[in-house]
């Protein structure tokens, strides 16, 4: 089988900022066909942002592609702000963005944390959702957080785990998320930067199933403002357990009984292990579950990318001439 390649690079036909209140302004852009099938790309993290490669997941002739950066992320301002920044603020922001762009209903595309937010929004605003394409679902349950920051992934990556805990005293290592929160919210930028380097390096080391160039950041390099913002926001969300009730997204999956979805999951994803997406797929009758062999977490892994491109084409076919 020949694996699919992304669509050619494109530039936005519209860019802007949306004032969502609480001192936050969101960056957004639109690409592709202004009359095409509306899709919003919900980026991961929390704390990262959308980027040019994400535009290439959709056929620009058939899709009206909306990308945006969540509160405090990427090109949104203020960068790295934790004030008025919760899952429920972000759900409201998505709805504000939809109304601002004059879109009646849209498709949601999200991976990892992006899948979390897409599912949360879809369960609250089902009537506005045409369908969902989700990758490597993270639902925010305690077991998922513990797997990555306590007792699970460290057994597969003991060398990188050692780097994550190296600067944390043994007395604080029973709760790494809380330990890092103290450092990522410290008034001294140097303390925040050191913590952000270690936090982001752990994630970078685990996201791909295979890599020929393992992350090996220079000990002397300092974290950028963007890296600090990413680490602060991600840690902030994990510290507060995403402001979701335990098991909420799985418990409420019946709200999507009439909503079509595609779930793409890497078999060897150690960031968001397959058990979560599997359980959601079993409870969601209209979900098409694609378990990709020989793949981990990242959307750019060849098998994952192939399945995602197939999914975006399938939805474009399904809604052609709507």
Mean pLDDT of 271-282: 98
In the prediction, which pLDDT does 312 show? 98
Say yes or no to pLDDT of 186 above 90.
yes
Tell me which of 48, 69, 236, 269 is the catalytic residue: 269
Is residue 264 situated within a structural domain? yes
Tell me the percentage of the chain whose pLDDT exceeds 90.
Answer: 94
Look at residue 158 in the predicted model and tell me its pLDDT: 97
Indicate whether 255 and 136 sit together in one domain: yes
Q: Residue 6 has what pLDDT?
A: 97
- Lowest-pLDDT choice from 103-112, 165-174, 208-217: 208-217
pLDDT-derived band at 320, boundaries 50, 70, 90: confident
pLDDT digits (tens, 9 = 90+) for 227-249: 999 999 999 999 999 999 999 99
Please report, for the domain that includes residue 32, its CATH number. 3.40.50.1820
* Residue 237 within any structural domain of the chain: yes
Q: Is residue 58 part of a domain?
A: yes
Q: What is the pLDDT averaged over residues 258-281?
A: 98
- Together in a domain, 277 and 292: yes
Residue 124: C-alpha distances to residues 25, 69, 117, 148 (Å): 23, 20, 11, 28
What digits encode the pLDDT tens for the residues 188-201?
999 999 999 999 99
Residue 92 is among the residues annotated as catalytic for this protein: no
Residues 225 and 299 in one domain: no
Averaged over 118-133, what is the pLDDT? 98
Query: Domain ends where: 242, 267, 296?
Result: 242
Residue 151 counted as domain residue: yes
pLDDT (tens digit, 9 = 90+) per residue, 44-72? 999 999 999 999 999 999 999 999 999 99
Residue 2 lies in a domain: no
Q: Are residues 220 and 158 in the same domain?
A: yes
Residue 75's domain comprises: 14-140+245-318
Q: What is the pLDDT at residue 230?
A: 98
Q: Specify the pLDDT at position 222.
A: 84
Residue 7 lies in a domain: no
Whole-number mean pLDDT of the chain? 95
**Catalytic annotation on 297?**
yes
pLDDT the model gives residue 166: 96
Say whether both 115 and 56 belong to one domain.
Answer: yes
* 112, 139, 160, 277: the active-site residue: 112
Specify the number of domains making up the chain: 2
Closest among 112, 127, 118, 63 to 300, alpha carbons compared: 112
Residue at 4 is within a domain: no
70 shares its domain with 119: yes
C-alpha span between 312 and 7 (Å, rounded): 11
State the pLDDT confidence band at 212, using cuts at 50, 70 and 90: low
- Is the per-residue pLDDT at 220 higher than 70? no
Domain shared by 88 and 183, yes or no? no
Angle (deg, nearest 10), helices 176-184 and 189-206: 140
Counting residues of the chain whose pLDDT is more than 70, the rounded percentage is 96
In the residue annotation, 19 being an active-site residue is answered as no
Integer Cα distance of 132 and 314 in angstroms: 12
Mean pLDDT calculated for residue range 153-171: 96
Indicate the residue among 242, 277, 298 that finishes a domain: 242
Widest distance between CA atoms in the chain: 61
Mean pLDDT on 37-41: 98
**Domain match, 276 and 201 both:** no
Residues 220 and 147 in one domain: yes
Asked whether residue 162 falls in the same domain as residue 19, the answer is: no
**282 within domain boundaries:** yes
Determine the pLDDT at residue 214. Answer: 53
Do 18 and 132 reside in the same domain of the chain? yes
Does 238 share its domain with 264? no
Q: Which of 197, 221, 242 is the C-terminal boundary of a domain? A: 242
């Amino acid at each position: 089988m020949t694996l699919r390649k992304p669509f050619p690079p494109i530039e936005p036909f519209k860019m802007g900022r949306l004032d969502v209140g609480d001192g936050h302004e969101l960056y957004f852009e639109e690409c592709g066909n202004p009359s095409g099938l509306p899709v919003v790309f919900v980026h991961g993290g929390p704390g990262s942002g959308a980027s040019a490669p994400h535009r290439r997941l959709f056929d620009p002739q058939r899709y009206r592609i909306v990308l945006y950066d969540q509160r405090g992320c990427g090109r949104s301002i203020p960068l790295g702000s934790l004030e008025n920044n919760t899952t429920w603020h972000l759900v409201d922001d998505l709805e504000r963005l939809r109304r601002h762009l004059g879109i009646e209903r849209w498709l949601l595309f999200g991976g990892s944390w992006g899948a979390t937010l897409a599912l949360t929004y879809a369960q609250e605003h089902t009537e506005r959702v045409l369908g969902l394409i989700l990758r490597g679902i993270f639902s925010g349950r305690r077991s998922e957080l513990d797997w990555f920051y306590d007792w699970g992934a460290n057994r597969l990556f003991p060398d990188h785990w050692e780097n994550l805990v190296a600067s944390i005293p043994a007395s604080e290592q029973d709760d790494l998320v809380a330990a890092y929160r103290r450092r990522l919210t410290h008034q001294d930028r140097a303390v925040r930067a050191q913590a952000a380097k270690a936090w982001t390096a752990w994630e970078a080391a685990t996201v791909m199933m295979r890599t020929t160039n393992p992350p090996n950041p220079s000990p002397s390099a300092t974290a950028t403002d963007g890296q600090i913002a990413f680490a602060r926001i991600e840690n902030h969300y994990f510290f507060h357990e995403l402001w979701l009730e335990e098991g909420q997204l799985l418990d409420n999956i019946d709200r999507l009984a009439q909503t079509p979805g595609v779930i793409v999951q890497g078999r060897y994803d150690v960031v968001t292990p397959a058990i979560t997406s599997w359980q959601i797929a079993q409870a969601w009758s209209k979900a098409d579950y694609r378990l990709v062999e020989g793949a981990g977490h990242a959307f750019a892994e060849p098998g994952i990318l192939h399945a995602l491109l197939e999914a975006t084409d399938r939805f474009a076919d399904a809604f052609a001439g709507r």
